[in-house]
Amino acid sequence: METAVRMRGITKSFGPVRALEGVDLDLRRGEVLALLGDNGAGKSTLVKILSGVHPADGGVLEIQGQPVDWRRHDVASARLRGVETVHQERSIGEKQPLWRNVFVGRHLKNSLGFIDARREREETKRLLSDVIGLKGAGMHPDARAATLSGGERQGLAIARALYFRAPILVLDEPTTALGAGEAEQVLSFVERLREEGHSCLLVSHELHHVHRVADRFALLERGRVAEVLERSRTSLSALADRLLLGSRGGA
């Protein structure tokens, strides 16, 4: 299977703290790969390196077959390479209308070079109805993001990534603090991403959610990938037991 992201020997330190100790990991095309581990295992650092928030200290990162130059790798360059990150809550500006949330930082321009607000509203309306499936009376481009539920906000952030045709999505705790119905909505979005051929790196503490949608599980322990498991060969209870063993240091 083709590889969307390839990591070899990724290291990262913050002062005396070694966050990553040589991570080797592949994200395949069209799969959902769950990144699991205790707090401090290195999940957030690895996600931020892929997303361009932090450069690595060493190692090799290839995105869609192209090597990354750490001196030039930032959020903008990661997006240009097709990486979009959906953070819990922080992906949406609550006080802004939906259309501005969709196109923030990447506005559509008219022939004179000005923001084409009319077109952005039209495109947002299409996203709401056709991509997210939100068709209520209050779901219009000028509605404030604060009026959306948690699941709807995550759906909007994912739909934004789909609009810009991002082949690689990083989903950082997308169902945390959501009710059962909202979490179900987000999980359906993730399943749709796989069906449409996107590659997803999913970070979550919700094991029952992870086991449902992920194809593989990468277990991080003390800054290294300790093991990668296939869902087809790993039950939910076995996954929980393996994570518990890792948290106890293999005891």
pLDDT in tens, 17-43: 999 999 999 999 999 999 999 888 999
Answer yes or no: are the C-beta atoms of 64 and 85 closer than 8 Å: no
Model confidence band, residue 91 (pLDDT cutoffs 50, 70, 90):
low
Q: Which domains does the chain have, with CATH numbers?
A: 3-91+167-247 (3.40.50.300)
Answer yes or no: are the C-beta atoms of 134 and 98 closer than 8 Å: no
Q: What pLDDT does residue 251 have?
A: 39
Q: What pLDDT does residue 129 have?
A: 76
Nearest-angstrom CA–CA distance, 188 and 215: 15
DSSP string, 59-87: EEEEETTEE--GGG-SHHHHHHTTEEEEE
Q: Is the sign of the CA dihedral 62, 220, 229, 209 positive or negative?
A: negative
Residue type for 229, please? L
pTM: 0.84
Q: Average of pLDDT values for 224-234?
A: 96
Candidate from 76-90, 136-150, 180-194 with smallest mean pLDDT:
136-150
Phi, psi of 64 (to 5 degrees): 55, 40
Q: What pLDDT does residue 126 have?
A: 84
Evaluate if residue 176 carries a pLDDT over 80.
Answer: no
Q: Average of pLDDT values for 105-114?
A: 87
pLDDT tens track for 180-222: 877 888 888 889 889 989 999 999 888 999 999 999 999 999 9
Nearest-angstrom CA–CA distance, 211 and 232: 10
Q: What pLDDT does residue 158 have?
A: 77
Q: What pLDDT does residue 157 have?
A: 79
List residues bridging with 230 in a β-sheet. Answer: 216
CB atoms within 10 A of CB 18: 15
Contacts of 194 (CB under 8 A, 6+ apart): 30, 31, 32, 200, 213, 215
- Going by the DSSP 8-state scheme, the letter that residue 127 receives in this structure is I
Three-state secondary structure call for residue 6: strand
Answer yes or no: are the C-beta atoms of 50 and 204 closer than 8 Å: no
Mean pLDDT of the chain: 87
Evaluate if residue 111 carries a pLDDT over 60.
Answer: yes
Q: Average of pLDDT values for 220-228?
A: 95
CB atoms within 10 A of CB 231: 18
Q: Average of pLDDT values for 95-100?
A: 87
Q: What pLDDT does residue 62 have?
A: 97
Higher local confidence (pLDDT), 185 or 238: 238
Evaluate if residue 228 carries a pLDDT over 90.
Answer: yes
Q: Average of pLDDT values for 143-147?
A: 84
Q: What pLDDT does residue 48 have?
A: 93
Nearest-angstrom CA–CA distance, 184 and 48: 26
Q: What pLDDT does residue 248 have?
A: 66
Contacts of 17 (CB under 8 A, 6+ apart): none
